[in-house]
Structures are given as structure tokens and as C-alpha cells.
Structure 1
Amino acid sequence: MQNPICLPTAIFLMGPTASGKSQIALDIAKELPIEIISVDSAQVYRYMNIGTAKPEQEILTHTPHHLINLIDPDQTYSAAQFRKDALNIMQDISSRNKIPLLVGGTMLYFRVLQDGLSVLPAADQDMRLQLEHLAKKLGWPAMHQKLSELDPTIAARIKPTDSQRIQRALEVCYLTQQPMSEILKTSQPADFPYRKVSIALIPSERSQLHSRITERFGNMLNAGLIDEVQSIRQRFSSLNMESPSMRCVGYRQVCLYLDNKISRDEMHDMGIAATRQLAKRQLTWLRGIRVSNEIYELDCLSSDSSTRVHNLIRAVTETCAD
């Protein structure tokens, strides 16, 4: 086994939404030999700019970000594809004597990148068509009940209206003849040929993060989020509420508003609430990995958070060079 100290370095910059990860990464890119890789399951979509807090084009021109604007909103992008793409890009960055800085809040992507994927069967188009046909007859809540009978553990984690995840779980059950929850207990050996340095941006005051989230969502609406969603739905007519892109936080609430299912005020409040829930899940995940991983924690509310991250990365990389 290769000595971890001899491996090239990769920086993980993680944190909840509105913790300032993107700006810190931009600040660091001006000073250190790094290249930014986005770890964001929403920023992979083209045209979804405002609601994903994607850097403006001028910034992307001067400081390129990898794994942004990969697919159209009516397409899908898996965690497995992310791992493959990210590892290829990281290898290229390291070969040019630079350091990959992976920045984002999609915690599943970070986990899959480092630990690999569970051994699940590939998508089967015939099986999916059969499940979709059955769902049209019975409805997805009834399909969820079927899943509860086959795999109660997985069913308990999925909402009865979450058609995409219900379909995938049933597909796995039928293809493998065993519960998906049992398969997930066995993971592929992960090949992660990097010396990972994990940095977590954790707010010292949750209420201040909530204030940031409220301001952030308001700014998105003022910047034209509603028009953006309307334009995307007109451009890609096959999109619906269950499309992965339109289930992203903010986009789902605007879709409900555009479909006249909620008022503008309700959309505003629901968007903020959904973003807070997302931040809570992200922080829960970060607390969980502290137990088994070495991780540097910094207060994202600190006025000198960029400087602290910069100094930490410089110290770590200089140690690696020695």
C-alpha cells in the first residue's frame, strides 16, 4: 500500500448552504496553486444559475470551475458519474502540479468520492418501463406500499410521493431478488489515491446562518429566480415536479407558485424553510463524519474565515512538500 504522505493532496472544503464556501474558494484561488471542483448536485445543470448560487460567467471566465454546467435540466447526473468525472479531473490537476480544491454542499458526492459506491445493479430500462406503467395504474403511494413489503428499511426513508427513489428501490429489489437495504451494507473497495485534507465550515451561531439563508433566498428572488424557472420550464417542456432538477431547493417552491398551488408569500417562506432543512441535514452529516475522520473545523461566521482557510491549506501543503 502506498504511503499516504506520498500521495498528492486534495482539499475538501465542506459546509452548509450559505456558509460562504464559494467565496472562500475564489479568495484562495487568487493566492494558491489550486483549481476548484464543484461538489454541487444542482450546479451541474445548465441554465439553473440564480437558484443554485452559481458563480457569474465573468468569475467562471477568470477562475474556471470544474463540474459546472454539465447537463440540461431534463437530464440526470448520478453520484457514480460524479465520482468518475471528479477523479479524472483531479488526476489532471495533480499532473500539472496544482491542488484540487473540492468545494460544495452535496455531502453524498463527498462520501462517494472517498468511499466508493455500494454494489447496486445498473438501471434497467425494461424494468423501469414496467414500474412506470404499474405506477400509472396504482399511483406512487401504492408503489411505496409495495416497497414497504419488500424492503421496509428503505421504504421508511422515502416519502410516498418520491417517485424517482421509489422506482429505483423497487427496481433493485426486483432485479436482485433481495432488499436494497441489504445490498447497501456491502460497498466496493474505494480507490482514492489522494491525501485528503477536510475542512468544515461550521456556524458558531445557527441563528446567524438562518439570517444568511433568509437574505440569500430573498436576493435570489430579486435577481429573477421566478423568471429563470419559468424560462427553463418553457425551454424543456418534459420537466415536471418530480424531475431531479426541479426538486432542487428553491426550484420546487417556485414551481408550486407558477402552478398556482401556493401564493408568492408561501413560496418565499417555504423556500427559506426548505433551505434551512437542507442546511440542517448538511450539518448533521458533518457532525457524523467528525467521529471517524480527521477534519479541521472553522467558524464560517468569522470575518477572517477566508484567511484562516488560506493559512490552513498553505500550512498543510507545505508540510506535504517537506
Structure 2
Amino acid sequence: MAQRALLIAGPTASGKTAMAIARSADERSLIINTDSMQVYDVLNIISARPNAEELAQAPHKMYGYVPPSVRFSTGAWLRDVEALIQQEGTNYQKLIFVGGTGLYFDALTNGFAQIPEIPQEVIQQVEEVIQPLDAKGRAKLLAEKDPEMAKRLQAPDPQRVARAISVIEATNKSLAQWQDEPNEPSILQGYDIEKIVLNPERDVLRERIALRFKLMMQAGAIEEVEAINALKLDPTLPAMRAIGVPEISAYLRGEMDLEEATEKSIIATHQYAKRQRTWFRNRMKDWHWIDPLA
């Protein structure tokens, strides 16, 4: 009998953790983080990692294990997952992958393009150029540097633009060309796979996002941002750009009041959820879509 894997994707605050825990109860299951922000240490509250009570209900792996000083990549995540499965996978009847990072799920199910590791200094230089740009500026820069990727990226968000430009700067080859080459086989090849996208009603999700962030503020988000700022990290690092970190940092510097920092964080979370939904609609049409809150 093939080993089973359950993949639970969805926008932020859609109830993924609750579903993963509920679905872990019927079989001996291992829950594996599939969210690019929840890999980072320090950012426990801000990244909405499972809390202590939730962690106690089932084995969880790959949460909060990467220092925030690291520019963690999809390839690095996939390599860690592969190593984890080899070491512990057979101890469980079912692997449950849960998170909101579409690229992680894509690499997991479709294999991953074998792009050379990009030097950190190249990534840092590119991110410093991109940081002050708005969406229009990022799109223009990408069109100049890599016209083929500019055609493919429907939403020129900072992370994807930085990735595309870093690849062509370091390899003299478009990310589009790398992506068009045959991928390595999926590490879940041979598994019995169930794929779910959580798709709550938009207004309900907006309410949940607002409530959750306000609860985060009460639970110690400010202290968490103080802790990561104390590390004096490069502001272009992914962990330093996690939603809530720039906004609360501005509050701590006296540049805005707490109410404004909270509201800006909630708005940024809404925008992120919208981008996630767009990605899932474009790339996960064949998954089972459900409203977990109906």
C-alpha cells in the first residue's frame, strides 16, 4: 500500500493549521511546514506558527528552525523535506504538508528546476535595488533585465522579481530558461496524494485576518519584533520583511502610532492573501477547493 500524503494549501488565516491537526487524528501523521515565513526562528507570533497547544496535538517538523539571518530558498526547503522523509517518513502512515507558499507546493508536487545556488551577495545587491521600487518600477526593471520572466510574472512582487533578476545576474541565463528545463522528479513520486486548497469567503477571511493580527499584538508581537530588531540584521532579508515586522518597527521608532501600525499590517495581510489566492487559482485548478469556514 502506497504511503499517503495530504497537501493543505490556502491563504493566510484560512484555517490550515486547524484542518491539518483535525486530519492528523485518523492516522499516525507527521505535519510538515510548507510556509516560507514559518521556517524562521524568532518569528513565532508574527508568522502565525502553530502555538504550543497545537504543536502538542501532533508531531510537527520544519517550524522555526532557520535563523532569520538566512535567505532561505525553495530549493533549500525541498532538500530539507527530502532529508526529513528519508529519515522519518516511514515512521508515519501519512505526511501532512500545510502552508501558504505556492512555490513550495509546486516544487513538492512537480519537482524542482535544478538552478545553481545563487551567491548571497548577488541576492542582497539585487534586493537593495528593488526595495525602494513600487510594483510599476519592479515590472519595468524586470522587463529590462529579463523580458521573458517579465512576461511570465503576472504580479511583480518583490520576492519573485528579486529571484528572477538574481538568477540572470549570477548565471547569465533567464530563470525562464531554467524553468523550461526538465525538473527533477517529485519527491512524493509513488505516494497516494490528496490535494486541498482552503477557499473561505472573502469577507469572512478579511474579518479573520483583522482579528488574528489584533490578537497577535496582544500575544507579544511587539516584543517579538523588538527581539528580531536587536539582531541588527540586513533589512532586505525575508524575515525582516515579514508582515508586521516593518510596520511594528516603524511604531517602535516613533514613526507611527500603534493603531496605524496595526491597521497597516492588517492591510498588508489582506494584500498578501489576495496574491496567494491569485497564485492558487492559476496553478492549483485541479486541486480540491473547499470552504472550511462555511
Which TM-score bucket, shorter chain as reference? 0.7 to 0.9
Distance 1:189 1:271 in 2: 38
Structure 2 residue 198 is the aligned partner of structure 1 residue 201: yes
Cα 1:255–1:190, aligned 2, differ >3 Å: closer, same or farther?
farther
Partner in structure 2 of residue 287 of structure 1: 281
Distance 2:161 2:217 in 1: 32
Aligned-residue RMSD, C-alpha: 3.2
Partner in structure 2 of residue 212 of structure 1: 208
Superposed CA deviations along residues 49-85 of structure 1, whole A, max 9, x for unmatched, are 1111222235434533111121121122211111122
Partner in structure 2 of residue 278 of structure 1: 272
8 Å CA contact retained: 1:158, 1:165: no
Q: Any unmatched runs of 5+ in structure 2?
A: none
C-alpha displacement of 1:165 = 5.9
Cα 1:174–1:92, aligned 2, differ >3 Å: closer, same or farther?
closer
C-alpha displacement of 1:91 = 4.1
C-alpha displacement of 1:148 = 3.9
The aligned length equals 287
Partner in structure 2 of residue 232 of structure 1: 228
TM-score, normalised on structure 1? 0.77
C-alpha displacement of 1:255 = 2.3
Distance 2:205 2:47 in 1: 17
Counterpart mapping for 1:107-256 below 5 A: 107-124=102-119, 128=122, 132=125, 148-154=143-149, 162=158, 168-191=163-186, 192-193=188-189, 194-203=191-200, 205-234=201-230, 236-240=231-235, 242-256=236-250
C-alpha displacement of 1:213 = 0.8
Percent identity between matched residues is: 31
One-letter identity of the residue aligned with 1:106: T
C-alpha displacement of 1:228 = 1.1
Distance 2:125 2:288 in 1: 45
Partner in structure 2 of residue 299 of structure 1: 291
Range 112-121 or range 167-176, more displaced: 167-176
Local SS of the residue matching 1:122? coil
C-alpha displacement of 1:216 = 0.7
C-alpha displacement of 1:220 = 0.7
Partner in structure 2 of residue 317 of structure 1: none
Q: Any unmatched runs of 5+ in structure 1?
A: 1-5, 303-322
2:94 to 92, 96, 99: 99
8 Å CA contact retained: 1:14, 1:201: yes
Cα 1:168–1:40, aligned 2, differ >3 Å: closer, same or farther?
closer
Cα 1:21–1:143, aligned 2, differ >3 Å: closer, same or farther?
closer
2:19 to 19, 24, 33: 24
Distance 1:262 1:250 in 2: 13
TM-score, normalised on structure 2? 0.83
Superposed CA deviations along residues 256-276 of structure 1, whole A, max 9, x for unmatched, are 333344332322221111111
One-letter identity of the residue aligned with 1:296: H
Cα 1:132–1:105, aligned 2, differ >3 Å: closer, same or farther?
closer
8 Å CA contact retained: 1:38, 1:67: yes
8 Å CA contact retained: 2:29, 2:58: no
One-letter identity of the residue aligned with 2:256: I
Distance 1:59 1:255 in 2: 28
Superposed CA deviations along residues 14-46 of structure 1, whole A, max 9, x for unmatched, are 111111111222233334321111111111111
C-alpha displacement of 1:143 = 10
2:71 to 46, 70, 76: 76
Superposed CA deviations along residues 173-217 of structure 1, whole A, max 9, x for unmatched, are 2443333333333342423322221012211x2111111111111
Distance 1:34 1:224 in 2: 30
